[in-house]
Structure 1
Amino acid sequence: MADQKSDSKADAKAAKAAAKAEAREARGKRAEERSGGGVKAGVSTLRTRVAQVVWLVFVVAALFLAVGALLIALDANRDNGLVKFILDGANTVDLGIFSRNNGIKDFTGNNADVKNALFNWGIGAIVWLVVGRVLERIIRP
């Protein structure tokens, strides 16, 4: 009977020690989850943020080109500050390749300015979006 009591006490101590070890392990896992899983998670988070910023920059460039083409097509007042800002921004992000005046395609005749803006800046906006998405996918983990 004495052996049974000592065995019961030993089993109880072992069970208690196992419970403490499980509790410590659970606390360690929770702390690791809160900290982001270490360096690997930190790098992953950084790459995700950089990818988001890259995508945002490319979308803004495409928006400048698209809105600029729309403003040219609608014959917006070019003396207006906002219109001037958007057209200047579009001229900057067209990189000379998609220029309204000397772009991929140069229309002549009636409404050539509108056609040039819609075609060249439209193609430029699409290129900005495609390149931006490709870079975003390369950068993102």
Structure 2
Amino acid sequence: MATKIRARLAQLIWLVCALCALVLAVGALLIALDANTSNALVDSVLRAADYVDVGVFSRQDGIKQFRGDGAQVKNALFNWGLGAIAWLVVGRVLDRIVKP
């Protein structure tokens, strides 16, 4: 019984982390494609990405800040891309720890 619970919990952790990575990747893609931010779906994805970047991978104050032409796109692609990779790594590590 405990083995099944731990296996399900590990799957749930991996799913949540993978979804967070997906939100960041889609958000970066929307920024790169200059999507219409007045669209409710685009706005909600960008707000969700701002939330799951946990401040460390923020497109405004992230790990790396670009200046000049296309800085907003570069910041989103670099910082949110790194954030997506971090979510996947953390998710996989936690999955391996929790899984029986």
TM range, normalised to the smaller chain?
over 0.9
* Letter aligned with residue 49 of structure 1: R
Q: Which amino acid aligns with 2:44?
A: F
Paired residue for 2:72? 113
CA distance in 2, matches of 1:112, 1:95: 20
Structure 1 residue aligned with 2:39, among 80, 84, 107? 80
Bigger radius of gyration among the two: 1
Equivalent of 1:61, from 7, 17, 20?
Answer: 20
> Which SS does the other structure have where 1:79 is aligned?
coil
Which amino acid in 2 is paired with 1:96?
A: G
Q: Where in structure 1 do 4 or more consecutive aligned residues deviate above 4 Å?
A: none
Q: TM-score under structure 2 normalisation?
A: 0.99
What residue is the counterpart of 2:10 in the other structure? Answer: 51
Please give the root-mean-square deviation of Cα atoms over the aligned residues, in Å.
0.3
Between the two proteins, what is the percent identity of the paired residues?
A: 62
Structure 1 gap ranges (5+): 1-41
Between Structure 1 and Structure 2, which shows a larger proportion of helix residues? Answer: 1
Residue type at the aligned position of 2:58: S
Q: Which residues of structure 2 form unaligned runs of 5+? A: none
SS of equivalent to 1:57: helix
Query: How many residues are paired up?
Result: 100
Give the C-alpha shift of residue 64 in structure 1. Answer: 0.6
Aligned pairs (5 A) from 1:16-35: none
